[in-house]
């Protein structure tokens, strides 16, 4: 893979880096995207019956069962070279902030720390009433099969039903996480946007803020992307191939 020398220089010289990731970075690990996760036996369900606060209130067993099934899918997969390259990049630059739209924990398992999860996490459920976090056992007490209803655990603190720690349709993103992501984007000199369609707001503002503040923005995507400004670049290809090659070209050659 051959990279533009000017771009390699910008990667090498970057002092503050933001990586903004989406479902594409986990695709090579075999994680179903939201739409793919609605395949198989779950395909008969409307997302609005699974991923809204109203759905949980109406049928908590159905919704908890679906999220336990997705959590188990994630736990059976491994980080791929794209996740590992992002964790490795953090060691090569003075500061790196990782902002993800993904609800899996593959960045953490690849060694990234302080990950800003804009859309929450499958692995951090909390009480639907008092918001106390619940530590989930690695293995669900009930084997989650496709379509299986599972009663959500009860909060140890107030007895309320525990809910998945993800952002549902109609809910706001966690304010502190969003503010930290926007602040990092405004300060960075390089932003890598990896495996995201960049169409879901407010998350999609993160690369826009970086670009507006004069940073170099590099899109790593398996599909062609429209580029707006002279500070924007596209590296077309799978994240698990492009990112390791970019790091090697920038730092080892």
155 or 191: whose CB is closer to ligand OAD? 191
User: Both tokens of residue 98?
Assistant: 């990782």
CB closer to ligand OAD out of 155 and 239:
239
Q: What is the bridge-based pairing of β-strands 16-21 and 95-100? A: parallel
Nearest distance from C-beta of residue 158 to ligand OAD, angstroms: 26
Question: Is 220:242 a contact under the CB 8 Å cutoff?
Answer: yes
Q: CA 246 to CA 83: how far, in whole Å?
A: 13
> What residues line the site for ligand OAD (CB under 6 A)?
22-24, 27-28, 33-34, 101, 119, 167, 195-197, 200, 220-223, 238-239
Residues assigned a catalytic role: 119
User: Distance (Å, rounded) from C-alpha 194 to C-alpha 241?
Assistant: 12
Q: What is the dihedral of CA 228, 229, 230, 234, to 10 degrees?
A: -40
Minimum CB distance to ligand OAD, residue 94 (Å): 26
Residues 142 and 157: their CA atoms lie apart, in Å, by 22
Q: Cβ closer to ligand OAD: 111 or 174?
A: 174
Q: Which is nearer to ligand OAD, 73 or 222 (CB)?
A: 222
**Is the CB of 211 or the CB of 238 nearer to ligand OAD?**
238
CB of 161 to ligand OAD, least distance (A): 21
The enclosing H or E element of 102 equals: none
CA-CA distance, 97 to 102, in Å (whole number)?
15
87 contact partners, CB below 8 Å, separation of at least 6:
107, 110, 111, 112
> How far is the C-alpha of 110 from the C-alpha of 136, rounded, in Å?
20
Contact 127, 158 (CB under 8 A): yes
* Nearest distance in Å: CB 12, ligand OAD: 22
């Amino acid at each position: 893979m051959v990279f533009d020398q000017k771009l390699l220089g910008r990667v090498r010289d970057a002092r503050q880096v933001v990586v903004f990731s989406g479902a594409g970075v986990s695709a090579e690990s075999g994680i179903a995207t939201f739409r793919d996760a609605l395949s198989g036996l779950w395909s008969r369900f409307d997302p609005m019956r699974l991923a809204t606060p109203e759905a949980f209130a109406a049928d908590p067993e159905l919704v908890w069962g679906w999220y336990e099934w997705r959590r188990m899918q994630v736990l059976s997969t491994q980080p791929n070279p794209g996740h590992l390259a992002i964790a490795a990049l953090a060691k090569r630059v003075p500061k790196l902030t990782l902002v993800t739209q993904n609800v899996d924990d593959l960045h953490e398992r690849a060694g990234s720390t302080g990950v800003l999860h804009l859309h929450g996490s499958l692995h951090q459920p909390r009480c639907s009433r008092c918001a106390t976090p619940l530590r989930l056992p690695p293995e669900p007490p009930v084997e989650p099969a496709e379509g299986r209803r599972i009663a959500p655990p009860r909060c140890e603190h107030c007895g309320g039903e525990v809910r998945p720690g993800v952002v549902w349709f109609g809910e706001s993103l966690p304010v502190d996480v969003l503010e930290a992501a926007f602040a990092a984007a405004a300060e960075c000199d390089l932003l890598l946007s990896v495996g995201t369609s960049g169409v879901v707001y407010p998350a999609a503002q993160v690369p826009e803020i970086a670009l507006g503040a004069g940073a170099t923005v590099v899109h790593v995507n398996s599909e062609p992307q429209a580029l707006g400004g002279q500070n924007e670049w596209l590296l077309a290809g799978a994240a698990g191939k492009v990112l390791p090659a970019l790091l090697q070209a920038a730092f080892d050659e």
